[in-house]
Amino acid sequence: MIADLVGSRSVRRALGAAGIVATLAFSAPWLSPYDPNEHLDAVELRIAGPSWHHPLGTDLFSRDVLSRVLYGTRVSLTVAALSVLVSVTLGTAVGMAAWLAGGAVDTVLMRLVDGALAIPRILLLLVIAALWNHINLAALVAILGLTSWFGTSRVVRAEVLSARAREYVAAARSLGLSRVRIATQHVLPNIAGPILVAASLGVGQIILVEAGLSFLGLGLAPPTASLGAMIQEGQSFVYQAPWVVVAPGVVIVLTVLVFSALGESLREALDPRSGGRPA
């Protein structure tokens, strides 16, 4: 299934765009012309417009905006990737466990998931972030990952319920394989596509959430470069120095669009009505 998905032209294009964004972000130590936290004019802390030496100008602390954007993008992608890994792993485990246990356990788990989905996520995040004394990278990943797996668990459970009626599951049962072995060795590889779609869309969503928390001052502590924090720092000078806000804002939008396009491309490739889903 994965090989067929990668064979789709739209998926390859989206993967290429996502690869370019990731390469630029994680090459920040080599591409950045300056240290992102270096005060280049430590005496007067003047804001400078775009120039040959500073293509995106400097901010109100006289730090190079291009360097901070590159490092901020790396932070956002790192947080998003690790959070999605936690979310997808936990959601898949709960969805599979609900199917394997069945009966009352399945009902209880799904009702708990429904209850969690009924809570506004942004409110939950604000409460947790406000109560957390010091948010570092690991804490931020934990907060975002542990509050974003509920939808994935329902997707996995639905896919498993659909897959159990397929011929390969019946064949595995006829061979006397246990439910756990059928789930891990046969069902899980065949539902990897929808899980990848959820993960791709989740990256863009978490980038937006992380930027929002940083904008509110509830993200990583300064002076760590963060796209949301850069927008918050420059909002008071948006008319005098629009580049301080525009640069991280454009990067957030483009990055989210790239990963949203990747998720939609994967979804279309899996849609049987489009003829893209492999048999």
Residue 89: pLDDT band (50, 70, 90) is very high
Task: Report pLDDT digits (tens) over 220-257.
Answer: 888 888 999 999 988 888 888 899 999 999 999 999 99
Among residues 187, 180, 181, 179, the alpha carbon closest in space to that of 160 is found at 187
Q: What pLDDT sits at residue 236?
A: 85
Among residues 72, 81, 68, the alpha carbon closest in space to that of 34 is found at 68
Q: What pLDDT sits at residue 224?
A: 87
The residue length of the chain stands at 279
Q: What pLDDT sits at residue 121?
A: 83
**Rounded distance between C-alpha atoms, residue 10 and residue 221, angstroms:** 38
The mean pLDDT of the chain is: 85
DSSP category for residue 183: I
Does residue 86 carry a pLDDT above 90? yes
- Per the CB < 8 A criterion, the answer to whether 132 and 142 are in contact is no
Does residue 260 carry a pLDDT above 70? yes
Q: What pLDDT sits at residue 278?
A: 44
Q: Please indicate whether residue 279 or residue 99 has the higher confidence score (pLDDT).
A: 99
Among residues 160, 162, 146, 153, the alpha carbon closest in space to that of 198 is found at 153
Task: Report pLDDT digits (tens) over 144-162.
Answer: 999 889 988 888 888 888 8
**Which domains occur in the chain, in start order?**
2-42+56-274 (1.10.3720.10)
Q: Please state the rounded mean pLDDT for residues 36-48.
A: 80
Mean pLDDT lowest for which of 3-12, 60-69, 120-129? 3-12
Residue 7: pLDDT band (50, 70, 90) is low
